[in-house]
Amino acid sequence: MKAAKPTKSLKHSAVAGAFWSALSTVFSRGLRFMITIFLARVLAPEDFGLIAMSMVVIDVAEMLRDLGLGAALIQRKQLDPEHLTTCFWANMGIGLSLWAITTAISPLAADFYRNPSVAPILRVMALNFLISPFGSIPWVMLNRQLRFRELMIAQSVATAIRGGASLLLAFKGFGVWSLVWGPIAGNLAGAVINEWFCRWQPKFAWSQRHFMDLFHFGKNIFGERLLGYFAGNSSFLITGRFLGAEIVGFYNFAYQIPHLAETQIVPVVGRVLLPVLSQVQDDHERLRRGYLQSLRWIAAVCAPFAAGLCVVAPEFVHIVYGQRWTPVVVPLQILCLAGFVHALTNTVWTVQQAVGRSDIGFKWNAATLPFIIGGLIASARWGMLGIALVMTLMSVVLAIAIQHITNRLIGLSWRRWLATVRAPVLSSALMAGITALLRLWLLSRGPSTLVLLLATTIAGTFTLILFLFMLDRTMLDDLLHIFDRRKAPVPQPAFEPEPGTYANP
């Protein structure tokens, strides 16, 4: 199977893909956020803490399930039918093994956290490993073909089913189990819908050569993701071990809210970037332009989000989640900076993979993980606040270092990088300063919490728009171009399948 040559429609395909991915994220993540608000008012912080502790184990096993093979399938210029079939059966075998292993080690995880409730939760959550392989190859194929509209539909429906099931169980009094069975229902729905769109059927065949071909590239991605997960989530591991389930529940909210932009918005860019940049991996100037354009919009979204959230955090937490979540306010404000720098550097891994240097991420995480874990263990004596401070400090230092490595890899100067993010960052800083002063003035007037939140949010939004387009007026033109339906392109496949290789959707 031959890869299609990059054409003039590549940029249009990327824009259309970004639009559908963004639409999917806005709906799915927005719906999930609203559901979380309701669940936070029904369930106890300890319930969220138990899930956060269990997810450390589940997410590590989830990375083992793929071994980086999915990213290898997307990155390859040439793809044979044997690649797809072999990858499917590899995923099936790994999924079955992970289900058995996770079930077996669940008592050990409960002993580590000193909480017996973790074991039965892990045993049920492990069922996801039996479901995921059925939707993995269809998901890869839809990504390769830049069919993000279908992916949007699948993700949105799966999110709705997941949220609906969780809410129903929560209001029926199932407690923490509503956070367990809901995701299982959503994953099952997503796998079914992806397969329905793709209509791909595996053959009973295995090719050792094709497996090693994919694994040679995917092993570094797998290693980078595994170590990177520990680096990013070691704070939950340390907090759960030393501070208990309730504090983990508080810290989970303090961490997740500032990282919403990184975890919910930036992956949209990454999903589009990898297949697109992989097609121009030999043209570094085109690659640099594509990367900087995505970085510009990431900064335009994430910088004001982090700055604004830091200012309105007390009112936001009180109104959205309730008074009992007040302990998360100060750690949340500290972690806003960590969330922003994570968002800015999140796509460096995609750039490295696109040019075939997935080994950099693996080596980087292997070198930095011991320092991160050591710092977090040392800071645990100061509780949740100490862990938040150390996480933020290490995030800033490490982000600068990995960005420097990536810049050198693709020949990108720091001056050009800083020029790209200057307008969004400076505008957000000015917005935060003015909004903070307004908030202090309003506090002296004694308004209600809701009025204070609405007033500062509205004032901050208008202030941001004013400063942003004063410093970079071309962003308005780009927005108008994206939403001009007359210029909206139709996504083009990243490769054309040969007749008979698999059933056409």
Q: Per mean pLDDT, which range of 99-103, 160-164, 297-301, 353-357 is the poorest?
A: 353-357
28-37, 51-60, 125-134: range with lowest mean pLDDT: 28-37
Q: What is the pLDDT of residue 321?
A: 83
Better-scored residue on pLDDT, 11 or 350 = 350
Q: Say if 52 falls within a structural domain.
A: yes
Amino acid identity of 334? I
Report the pLDDT value the prediction gives residue 11, as an integer from 0 to 100.
52
- What is the C-alpha separation between 219 and 223, in angstroms, rounded? 6
Residue 149 resides in a domain: yes
- Cβ atoms of 120 and 127 within 8 Å: the answer is no
Cα(399)–Cα(378) distance, rounded to whole angstroms? Answer: 21
Does residue 3 fall inside a structural domain? no
Q: Which residues are CB-contacts of 314 (< 8 A; sequence separation ≥ 6)?
A: 329
Q: Which helix (H) or strand (E) holds 179?
A: helix 178-198
The DSSP H or E segment spanning 33 is: helix 9-42
pLDDT of residue 203: 77
The answer to whether residues 121 and 245 touch, using CB atoms and an 8 Å cutoff, is no
223, 362 contact by CB (below 8 A): yes
Least confident of 197-206, 330-339, 350-359, 476-485: 476-485
pLDDT in tens, 13-32: 555 555 555 566 666 667 77
pLDDT at residue 370 greater than cutoff 90: no
- Token pair for residue 323? 């008074």
Asked if pLDDT for residue 311 goes beyond 90, the answer is: yes
User: Which pair of structure tokens corresponds to residue 440?
Assistant: 């202090």
pLDDT at 135 over 80: no
H or E segment and range at residue 455:
helix 449-471
- Write out pLDDT tens, residues 69-87: 666 666 666 666 777 788 7
More confident residue, 236 or 172: 172
**pLDDT tens digits along 187-243:** 888 888 878 887 777 777 777 776 776 676 666 666 666 666 666 667 777 777 777
Q: Which domain holds residue 196?
A: 9-206
Taking 90 as the threshold, does the pLDDT of residue 181 lie above it? yes
State the Cα–Cα distance between residues 133 and 88, nearest whole angstrom: 7
Evaluate whether residue 369 is within a structural domain.
no
Residue 53 lies in a domain: yes
Burial label for 277, CB within 10 Å (0-12, 13-18, 19+), is: buried
**Can you give the C-alpha Rg of the chain in angstroms?**
23
Ramachandran area for residue 503 (φ above 0: left; ψ -120 to 50: alpha; else beta): beta
**Inside any domain, residue 452:** no
Residue 92 or 165, more confident:
165
Q: Name the domain count of the chain.
A: 1
Give residue 157's pLDDT.
Answer: 86
What is the C-alpha separation between 268 and 280, in angstroms, rounded?
19
Q: How many CB atoms lie within 10 A of CB 160?
A: 17
Q: Could you count the other beta carbons within 10 Å of the beta carbon of residue 504?
A: 9
C-alpha 93/C-alpha 91 separation (Å) is 5
Average pLDDT over residues 305-313: 92
The model's pTM is 0.60
Hey, CA dihedral for 35, 40, 41, 47, is it positive or negative? positive
486, part of any domain: no
**Is there a contact between 107 and 135 (Cβ–Cβ < 8 Å)?**
no
Decide which of 178 and 495 is more confident.
178
pLDDT of 6 reads 42
Which residue in the block uniquely carries the two structure tokens 């020949």? 411
The model's confidence at residue 159, banded by pLDDT at 50, 70 and 90, is confident
Residue 60 domain-assigned?
Answer: yes
pLDDT in tens, 245-265: 778 888 888 888 887 766 666
Asked if residue 39 lies in contact with residue 178, where contact means CB atoms within 8 angstroms, the answer is: yes
Q: What's the number of CA atoms in the CB half-sphere (13 Å) around residue 107?
A: 1
Query: How distant, in Å, are the alpha carbons of 49, 108, 204, 376, 450 from that of 46?
Result: 5, 20, 46, 21, 27
99: tokens are 């289900």
- What's the full length of the chain, in residues? 505
